Amino acid sequence: MEKIKSLADLKRIKENVQTKIDLREKSEQVENLIQIKVAMATCGIAAGSKDTMNYFIENLEKNGITAVVTQTGCMGYCYAEPTVEITKPGKDPIVFGHVTEERAEEIIQKYLKNDELVADIIPVNFETI
């Protein structure tokens, strides 16, 4: 257990706990939220997917977007890492490749806010069973 030495320590602990509670509440209604999955296999991490994931986490709330951001394993698009799959409620998922922090900002501003498609969408080349 972490010792509390100041009011700032107590506030930081409260924020961490509140974040965990919010995530738990969101996970129960995930089908009604935007879902963002960042590929975090070895190739993704080497290409910068940690920075991409952190960027989404830090900037979605600033832009008034409620979403669940999670990590996933390899999506099979090593050539296009970092890759991000975004599923909007009631829509098919879209996979974006080469998602740097700059591209993440473009996705937030254009796709998530205004439904405008952006470059580097990886086309679906399979049918679901």
Supply the pTM of this predicted model.
0.75
Q: pLDDT 10s per residue in the chain (129 long)?
A: 567 888 888 888 888 777 666 655 555 666 788 999 999 999 999 999 999 999 999 999 899 898 989 999 998 899 999 999 999 998 999 999 999 999 999 999 999 999 998 888 887 655 543
Do 117 and 101 belong together in one domain? yes
127 in a structural domain:
no
Question: Could you list the residue range(s) of the whole structural domain that residue 11 is in?
Answer: 1-31
The span from the CA of 22 to the CA of 68, in Å, is 10
Q: What gap in Å lies between CA 124 and CA 89, rounded to an integer?
A: 18
Residues 80 and 117 in one domain: yes
Are 20 and 62 members of one domain? Answer: no
The one-letter code for the residue type at 57 is: I
pLDDT value for 15: 80
Domain count, the chain: 2
Q: Judge contact between 13 and 21, C-beta under 8 A.
A: no
What CATH number did the domain enclosing 106 receive? 3.40.30.10
Domain identity same for 61 and 89? yes
26 Cβ contact list (under 8 Å, min separation 6): 33, 66, 68
